[in-house]
Amino acid sequence: MESQSQTERPQDPQDEVQQEPKKPDNTTLTFRIWPPSQRTRDAVISRLIETLTTTSVLSKRYGALPADEASSAARTIEEEAFSVADAASSAEDDGIEILQVYSKDISKRMLDAVKSRANSAGVDGNDNGVVVAGGATENAVSTAEAEAEA
């Protein structure tokens, strides 16, 4: 004889009625891209270190930084850019404009850092004797400089 747990019990007919799934309440769902998570900020710092230490448009023109100097500079650049952008943010912002401020400030500060280092090392970014390969690379540096100054 089967126990009661093994036999099928008749189901309540109301259980068989399919209920329409509840729709999510979109009024409580918000998507904000500012401020970035610490993980994102760390990724920005890592990318800055990579850009400052490896062969890039900037390093060809201004020279690459040693890893320890690049690490310190990258952290300072990111922290200062974050502070500037965070001070400019407001509760009404969706974060896109602030993210643009943050990004442009990082670019400007990175360019300032490599220029400053090149100048202190006696290297002039425009007349340093380093041949920049191809006009496109030269234009890319000029474009980066123009965006950083904007």
DSSP 26: T
> How many angstroms separate the CA atoms of 146 and 148, rounded?
5
> What is the rounded distance in angstroms from the CA atom of residue 37 to the CA atom of residue 82?
11
- Confidence class of residue 150 from pLDDT cuts 50, 70 and 90? low
Can you give the residue range of the structural domain that contains 96? 38-123+132-149
In a domain, 103, yes or no: yes
Greater model confidence, 91 or 85: 85
- Asked if residue 70 is part of any domain, the answer here is yes
At 1-32, the pLDDT tens digits run: 555 555 555 565 555 555 666 665 556 666 77
Q: Which of 95, 47, 93 is nearest to 73 (CA)?
A: 47
Q: pLDDT tens-digit profile of 40-55? A: 999 999 999 999 999 9
Q: Are 45 and 75 in contact (CB under 8 A)?
A: yes
Q: How far does Cα 50 stand from its chain's mean position?
A: 14
pLDDT of residue 128: 43
Q: Is residue 102 part of a domain?
A: yes
Q: pTM of this prediction?
A: 0.64
For the chain, the domain total comes to: 1
Q: Tell me the CATH number at 55.
A: 1.10.246.200
Q: Please check whether residue 101 lies inside any domain of the structure.
A: yes
- Residue 32 belongs to a domain: no
Residue 118 contacts residue 129 (beta carbons within 8 Å)? no
Distance CA 120, CA 112 (A): 12
Sequence letter at residue 106? I
- Write phi, then psi, for 136 (nearest 5 degrees): -65, -40
